[in-house]
Amino acid sequence: MSGGTSQDVAIRGNTVTRIIIHVVLFLFAVYYLLPLWVMLVNSVKPLDEIRGGNMIATPQHWTFEPWLQAWSQAQIGVQATGLKPYFLNSIMMVVPAVAISTILGALNGYVLTKWRFKGDGIVFAMLLLSCFIPFQIVLIPMARVLGVLGLAGTIPGLVLVHVVYGLGFTTLFFRNYYAAFPTELIRAAQIDGAGFFRIFFRILLPSSAPIIVVSVIWQFTNIWNDFLFGASFSDVDSVPMTVALNNLVNSSTGVKEYNVHFAGAILAALPTLIVYVLSGRYFVRGLMAGAVKG
């Protein structure tokens, strides 16, 4: 969709239809923005103002106490550490997982398009199908294998899980991108005397910036936002952000501190939102590539 322009089909209506169209689009915008607004305004309100007041109104008393609470003081699990350590856990999990899965995906895509061999179609089909499996089907054996490998409840264990189940996507991205990359370039480089890795690093990789961005964003968003694997395979000191947020919001004890919950939710959403704002174009491209295979 990036770069596309409206075509000459505009419903040639009068001013009234144009106004209606704009009003409808505006109402949809309100619908999409409402939850974000609710989270934002209520994260800077004292608790009694939420309980007694209007949830969509701006605060009468501004307070950043909920943010401090959520970040470093809230009771999550046994200790009152706030979300900070879990935020760091997520970062330590996401960075290597994104890097490894993207590198492997790039190499796979390179082989699957430019160094084809008998049976490579089956390998690709297997990778592609792995994008769709419900992860419930791997939870039980994965728990055992992580135990055997000594990675149960550790961040490296989570990295492994996310690399494995992200490979299909990253391979798909790079395969589709490199498929459109002229094979004649590879041949020219062969005649020039470059080998497998030199062709990759000197010819393909320098032209791969857009798809690297797509792959990194996709993997970052998915891994950061993952809940199921985090909930299944983490231990006290490796719990990722999403799981910690859920523990914060859904712990049944004590008073419900909505403002802290909202501040925490924004903290959990912030990294992916920032990535989205900075690179929305590539984000959409990743979504599309994930949807329209082949």
Binders in 1-60 for other proteins, by CB under 8 A? 1, 4-13, 18, 21-22, 24-25, 28-29, 31-36, 38-39, 42, 50-51, 53-56
Closer residue to other proteins, CB minimum distance, 155 or 241 = 241
Neighbours of 115 (CB within 10 A): 12
Tokens of 228: 């199921």
Of these, 60, 134, 236, 253, which contacts other proteins (CB under 8 A)?
134
Phi/psi of residue 254, nearest 5 degrees: 75, -175
73-132: contacts with other proteins (CB under 8 A)? 104, 107-108, 110-112, 115, 117, 120-121, 123, 125-130, 132
Closer residue to other proteins, CB minimum distance, 155 or 162 = 162
Tokens of 242: 């999403």
Name the minimum Å distance from CB 73 to other proteins.
19
Closer residue to other proteins, CB minimum distance, 142 or 213 = 142
Name the minimum Å distance from CB 195 to other proteins.
6
Closer residue to other proteins, CB minimum distance, 21 or 80 = 21
Residues 6 or more apart from 254 whose CB is under 8 A from it? 75
Tokens of 213: 């961005």
Q: Using alpha carbons, select from 30, 32, 71 the residue that is nearest to residue 270.
A: 71
> Do residues 37 and 234 make contact, with C-beta atoms less than 8 angstroms apart?
no
236-265: contacts with other proteins (CB under 8 A)? 242, 245-246, 249-250, 258, 261-262, 264-265
Under DSSP, is residue 79 helix (H, G, I), strand (E, B) or coil?
Answer: strand
Name the minimum Å distance from CB 171 to other proteins.
7
Closer residue to other proteins, CB minimum distance, 72 or 187 = 187
Q: Using alpha carbons, select from 31, 22, 57, 85 the residue that is nearest to residue 235.
A: 85
Name the minimum Å distance from CB 213 to other proteins.
15
- One symbol per residue from 173 to 212: x for binding other proteins (CB under 8 A), - otherwise; what is it? ---------x-xx-xxxxxxxxxxxx---xx--xx-----
Rounded-to-integer distance, Cα 216 and Cα 283, Å:
9
Of these, 14, 16, 78, 141, which contacts other proteins (CB under 8 A)?
141
Q: Long-range contacts made by residues 272-277, C-beta under 8 angstroms, separation at least 24?
A: 272/220, 272/221, 272/224, 272/225, 275/217, 275/220, 275/221, 276/221
Under DSSP, is residue 43 helix (H, G, I), strand (E, B) or coil?
Answer: helix
